[in-house]
Structure 1
């Protein structure tokens, strides 16, 4: 039986039941009612209703998106809102509605198998993600806080906390699965050649530990043996004193029967309870429907790869035909356009422009709607990053266009396809999910652009020579030929090097050799496979209520996870977002030990497929000594990071790099080596470089605040987990290590009594309790809360003094100072109004 037949057999009854269901509500109620369609596993081509479900979701999302655009871009500009709370409420509403659209579009893009639909859908998806990032930036500037509490807005929109979580598109990793697998194999081969280093004295220490463990084991056995002897003696003594008689065989049998019948009845009652919970749909674990849904989603992802291969093969055949038939005419047309452009530049600027290098795109930038001043490099605004596009500038407003060739610019030159292909796909009534017929205009839409890209290098080479002859001819007439050659050499020498060009610090070094050296030196490490969803926690349900009462609420784990997704994962995963969204080069994660800072770094690398470079002060001890060595290290790290982007540069114990005063025991390690070179390297990063610096620190107050905040643009404070987050974390950790949660384990009491401990403490306790021997005993001896609490009592909790110190340090950061100043201004205004009222009386 083939794979398709097996899946069809598995899905037979399920597909028939889905086909009989109604198609769903109209556009007006798309948010609440269509939630059930988000995870529908529509994986079979033979059912037209199933194949069109995700297209219908796309239509509903577009309708909601047009409604939002009409609200954000009215015909008459609205009056500015003076009330800060009302303005933030408006921003939060837009943020949640765009997030809902983003969740729908991400699901559609993940499950639609049509190659051309997925291309246009990706443009819209990136546009919505860009708008979400802009709204996040505006909310930070409005509230002067990295954490926002929108529980009142959720209640108004009748949404759940899960609906506000920003999804992480799966195509960040799926589209690069082959490259990531190859890179993982290379990294594994290099690490396999590295011999594990054993510090001096390790063997003696190991022998001492083994002896100590053996003596402790013998002591425990001896004490247990003596305890059993004393217990038997005391039992015999009590029996003699009470004068109890020995039981006869009948009484002994009755006692055994009583115990056995009780055990048997409890077992039957437990099975009946499990059957009842499964019958009413409240049993723990994945249900059959969820498993079938996951199977269908994976099946559609496999079909995406098959259809993409067919589509690429069809494009190649069309491009070959166009290249033979229309290639010569296109080549001559491109030459004529370039000649005309040279003449216009010469007429306006008085000289011929410099032909762009291949590294920056060649002649393609000359066809990108730029003025002669911009192409010649005289316009200082050309290439500068914009302050941030509005909703229409992200290509979202093109959804309402009716022109056949309508295009809308996105940011600094990225274009989004107009409504004609979208409306064509929605009108198309063909069967199946494959590409359009090859003779259609939709299937041939990308072929001319591909042919022009193939012809561009040939035309560039010819036109460079022609432009040089033109310059020589003009200079010969003016008698400046020799000076022109010298100036051209000076200009050529002054050009900035491309990221992958040769450098005096690494002459004739290939990327593979640099990569291998960094791995062997322990700078480039293999990231642990951790998902962001593994950083479990719950939502802060009373955030708005506490703020209105003048109490600053503690950020929840869900808020931290949201910020990591917005500041790190979305930007690193999408080149378009990183280039056009508000730029974030560095993030600092500060919080007590064990709150999951390192785990979040590995989660960012896993979700985006990024490389992990470890520049922690402890990891650099004895490596690349001296100023020359440090300069070489920084050059190699950021060169490889740019060429193999996305990349994450991690600095653990980030406070050591900016110590106020280096402790005596750390002076020899020189932890402040990167203090000067790190900010310089960050300044060289451009918007197109998907490289993010992430620092982690549990003692940020030990560093100089001014220099630390200059290096890290965004600072996220991670508090200890609250009750809801601890409850969810206990459940996840116990299940992860093979444990089973039964009625004998009171997770609520466990979460309550573990107040003050971090996630790291909880993970350590679970790992120590759930040993292999304990897992074997679990069927007969269920887990109890006391087992975990006994180990937690040995660990040091997070004291309130440490939290207070971190809060006071955070108020010294730039954002904390702004928030404190705004609070003082509000207090002064209230005092002024109170004095005015007393004066009137």
Structure 2
């Protein structure tokens, strides 16, 4: 599609976003008492924001104009963050990570695929060159350390070499013979032309020759036209006008690439044209502020140091009247807090006494992204809504927008120079008027009375200190790779995790059972809590912060695949910690602290990064440790909370744990480390059908009537995705693929190989359910369901009493 199409898509999406913002101001700011109404509002907003997200991502991925992309990028990050905030409210309201969205989708006329989370392309594309260089450097380190084997070069046999030489020689002889025959043909043609020149041509024969040539040409053109129309009709080629658009689009892409390479800057022009005016204005404002301050306080103020922002701090300081108002406001706030505490105590006493407490209702939490969305919307209305895009054929830059951004940088440079001059002037004025010398206004002959108390410093943990000040990031990167703690990421996308919605889940939900997410919901949760915050710095800093994520499920359900998918989609480094990977390395607490420090330092410097802890239940195991390696691995459990405290909102570092036996661990410390827990189920019938079909075709197999996929999906009930992959690889060997032409695949081959594996039994599923019910979110779900059941019973009792009263009357 052309650039005009995506500009129109951006405009339509921006109007829809303005409508959503207006709706939020009207609905979400008012307290609501009806929980069903609140849930409907949140779910509707979630679906609509997802649609806006998908359209903005398409516009951002295909627009060439860099300033337009920057404007779309700001709104795109805001929509992603708003989605995470709404998801937090939905989880708090329902006490569950998976929600029943069927009714909302039906009302909005959407399909389940519309609530899939799209992954923005810019997560990887903007840093593609850096990621490729880093991957190449890691591969070289692993090869030199012997941790990665090079692909073996297969040597040719004598027969294969002779055959290659024969083929090349026959091709050479064929080309030589063709050239020889062409020379003979041209020679004969020249001889015939000479003979024709000697003989006189009849006019009728000449006219016939011309007609023959013209009719042949005309018929060839008609045939070519008919062939093109047929190809367009069959959908095998594009119409001419569409091809012309694609050529124009390619030209625009080339123009965009040139535009990306060029660095447009107007700093020098701004310094020459506006520098002197900016300097005079700043000096006048600072002088006026000093004079007013001396008039109020009786002395000139101290010049703020550069650490606090220099002259910027002068304009931030408030007048005495504003300070008095703030103090009065603080006193009122303290009184309100004391009053609320008294009310809380009274409510607690009333609950103990059995009295009813009035619930004020639900209210939306304050948002960090609505201001970003409103700013992006206003920027679009000012700069881009009424812009003439037809005249901007090359999608070139806008100089005024670039100047607006660089003007602030020029002002900051000039402000630093003005601060140096004004600081010297202030010292001279103080000495002449007030008789003060020195930067802090000390009078001569008087020293400081008493020693000033230094403010108490915040305690810094060991991981936040720089334990390796003399080492470079490259050396730490190399050491972690050589020790097997920094591994290569497998190129797996989140969409490769195949699965469909479980339609029977809503029936189980009505019975009060703990809801288990289906595979599409697992993809959504991984994208929301893992990929989106890691991919965007703005989202990570302002969204609800998730530092740790746990993937729990039976062996073979794809936990490792999801970890690699997070790193692939976000372009993140992958650090791996298991009991085997640190066996014999970093013994003792201090060495483990150093190891975590190196991981954290490299992860912050080369962010985004993922720290993956495999078999994490062994770190929190209940029994006594078996051996020194197990003890060393368990020591990490005490250091992980300190590691998470060292991860700040600006650090895109995520801790991901995987476990197939979470019920073997101590629940208390286990749940304290991992903020979000995603329980991954085994595949249902429809998912198993798709898995068998996908992996058989991917392995090179051919599906015929002899392969009954329905039967395979039914027989493999209870087996995981890993079982299906292993069975397909076992059956589709190289020898079996060669025999497929005369011996087609049969269902019995896969069933026989599947019978050698053990499925996930019901007892193991119940153990996962019982364990998840003991987690904080599981307990909240049980309490929520109990409260709803109590409300239903009260409503039934009221209804019965009402009927009895009517009967008596």
**TM-score interval w.r.t. the shorter chain?**
0.7 to 0.9
Unaligned runs of 5+ in 1: 1-41, 43-49, 199-278, 382-386, 402-416
Distance 1:816 1:111 in 2: 43
User: Offset at 1:617?
Assistant: 2.8
Q: Which residue of 1 aligns with 2:36?
A: 85
Distance 2:134 2:560 in 1: 22
SS at match of 2:636: coil
CA shift in 2, pair 1:685/1:837, >3 Å: same
Q: Which residue of 2 aligns with 1:532?
A: 494
Q: Which residue of 2 aligns with 1:112?
A: 63
CA shift in 2, pair 1:300/1:620, >3 Å: farther
Distance 1:837 1:52 in 2: 61
Alpha-carbon displacement from aligned partner over 1:308-347 (angstroms, at most 9, x marks no partner): 652663522x233223443454456567767888999998
CA shift in 2, pair 1:463/1:353, >3 Å: closer
Q: Which residue of 2 aligns with 1:191?
A: 142
- Which moves more between the two structures, 809-818 or 515-524? 515-524
Is the Cα–Cα contact under 8 Å of residues 527 and 612 in structure 1 kept in the other structure?
yes
Alpha-carbon displacement from aligned partner over 1:443-463 (angstroms, at most 9, x marks no partner): 533332343466677678888
Q: Which residue of 2 aligns with 1:223?
A: none
User: Offset at 1:647?
Assistant: 0.7
Query: Which residue of 423, 426, 430 maps to 2:391?
Result: 430
SS at match of 2:132: helix
Is the Cα–Cα contact under 8 Å of residues 75 and 373 in structure 2 kept in the other structure?
yes
Query: Which residue of 449, 458, 463 maps to 2:408?
Result: 449
Distance 2:57 2:419 in 1: 39
Q: Which residue of 1 aligns with 2:575?
A: 613
* Residue 323 (1) aligns with residue 323 (2): no
* Residue 474 (1) aligns with residue 440 (2): yes
Distance 1:80 1:696 in 2: 40
Is the Cα–Cα contact under 8 Å of residues 685 and 714 in structure 2 kept in the other structure?
yes
Is the Cα–Cα contact under 8 Å of residues 685 and 717 in structure 2 kept in the other structure?
yes
- Which moves more between the two structures, 466-475 or 187-196? 466-475
SS at match of 1:740: coil
Alpha-carbon displacement from aligned partner over 1:329-378 (angstroms, at most 9, x marks no partner): 44565677678889999989998586465xxx96698599787999xxx9
Distance 2:615 2:100 in 1: 30
Is the Cα–Cα contact under 8 Å of residues 527 and 605 in structure 1 kept in the other structure?
yes
Q: 1:761-840 maps to which residues of 2 (within 5 A)?
A: 761-835=723-797
CA shift in 2, pair 1:610/1:479, >3 Å: farther
User: Offset at 1:786?
Assistant: 2.1
Query: Which residue of 110, 121, 127 maps to 1:176?
Result: 127
Is the Cα–Cα contact under 8 Å of residues 345 and 351 in structure 1 kept in the other structure?
yes
CA shift in 2, pair 1:430/1:741, >3 Å: farther
Alpha-carbon displacement from aligned partner over 1:474-529 (angstroms, at most 9, x marks no partner): 34228776789x979x67x958999999x552131111111111111111111111
Distance 1:785 1:178 in 2: 46
CA shift in 2, pair 1:355/1:678, >3 Å: farther
* Residue 123 (1) aligns with residue 88 (2): no
CA shift in 2, pair 1:363/1:613, >3 Å: farther
Distance 1:111 1:815 in 2: 41
Distance 1:368 1:800 in 2: 68
CA shift in 2, pair 1:456/1:301, >3 Å: farther
Distance 1:741 1:178 in 2: 40
Q: Which residue of 2 aligns with 1:671?
A: 633
CA shift in 2, pair 1:332/1:774, >3 Å: farther
Q: 1:20-35 maps to which residues of 2 (within 5 A)?
A: none
Distance 2:247 2:758 in 1: 45
TM-score by length of 1: 0.71
Distance 2:401 2:491 in 1: 40
Q: Which residue of 2 aligns with 1:636?
A: 598
Distance 1:585 1:368 in 2: 37
SS at match of 2:658: strand
CA shift in 2, pair 1:505/1:80, >3 Å: closer
User: Offset at 1:706?
Assistant: 1.0
TM-score by length of 2: 0.74
Q: 1:211-610 maps to which residues of 2 (within 5 A)?
A: 306-307=255-256, 309-310=258-259, 313=262, 315-316=264-265, 318-330=266-278, 355=305, 357=307, 389-390=366-367, 393-398=370-375, 401=378, 417=379, 419-425=381-387, 427-436=388-397, 438=399, 441-442=400-401, 444-452=403-411, 472-477=438-443, 505-544=467-506, 546-548=508-510, 550=512, 554-610=516-572
Q: 1:1-20 maps to which residues of 2 (within 5 A)?
A: none
Q: Which residue of 2 aligns with 1:53?
A: 5
Is the Cα–Cα contact under 8 Å of residues 650 and 694 in structure 1 kept in the other structure?
yes
Distance 1:299 1:184 in 2: 35
Is the Cα–Cα contact under 8 Å of residues 494 and 566 in structure 2 kept in the other structure?
yes
Distance 2:539 2:292 in 1: 34
- Which moves more between the two structures, 58-67 or 733-742? 733-742
Distance 2:614 2:251 in 1: 39
Distance 1:345 1:621 in 2: 66
Q: Which residue of 1 aligns with 2:678?
A: 716
SS at match of 2:589: helix
Distance 1:736 1:345 in 2: 77
Q: 1:683-698 maps to which residues of 2 (within 5 A)?
A: 683-698=645-660
Distance 1:298 1:590 in 2: 50
Distance 2:698 2:314 in 1: 56
CA shift in 2, pair 1:315/1:468, >3 Å: farther
User: Offset at 1:799?
Assistant: 0.6
Distance 1:480 1:500 in 2: 44
Is the Cα–Cα contact under 8 Å of residues 54 and 111 in structure 1 kept in the other structure?
yes
User: Offset at 1:96?
Assistant: 0.7
Distance 2:124 2:422 in 1: 40
SS at match of 1:618: coil
Q: Which residue of 1 aligns with 2:16?
A: 64
Structure with the bigger RCO (C-alpha within 8 Å, sep 6+) is 2
CA shift in 2, pair 1:353/1:185, >3 Å: farther
CA shift in 2, pair 1:497/1:457, >3 Å: farther
* Residue 625 (1) aligns with residue 587 (2): yes
User: Offset at 1:658?
Assistant: 1.4
Unaligned runs of 5+ in 2: 150-229, 331-363, 431-436, 805-809
Alpha-carbon displacement from aligned partner over 1:677-696 (angstroms, at most 9, x marks no partner): 11011012211111111111
Distance 1:422 1:428 in 2: 9
CA shift in 2, pair 1:838/1:193, >3 Å: same
Alpha-carbon displacement from aligned partner over 1:537-586 (angstroms, at most 9, x marks no partner): 11233544553454555421100000000011000000000011111111
Distance 1:137 1:834 in 2: 32
Number of aligned residue pairs: give it.
674
CA shift in 2, pair 1:504/1:639, >3 Å: closer
Distance 1:151 1:139 in 2: 15
Query: Which residue of 639, 642, 649 maps to 1:680?
Result: 642
User: Offset at 1:114?
Assistant: 1.2
Distance 1:562 1:546 in 2: 21
- Which moves more between the two structures, 149-158 or 581-590? 149-158
CA shift in 2, pair 1:293/1:601, >3 Å: farther
Is the Cα–Cα contact under 8 Å of residues 579 and 630 in structure 2 kept in the other structure?
no
CA shift in 2, pair 1:342/1:418, >3 Å: farther
Distance 1:324 1:315 in 2: 17
SS at match of 2:96: coil
SS at match of 2:438: helix
Distance 1:128 1:587 in 2: 22
Distance 1:345 1:780 in 2: 97
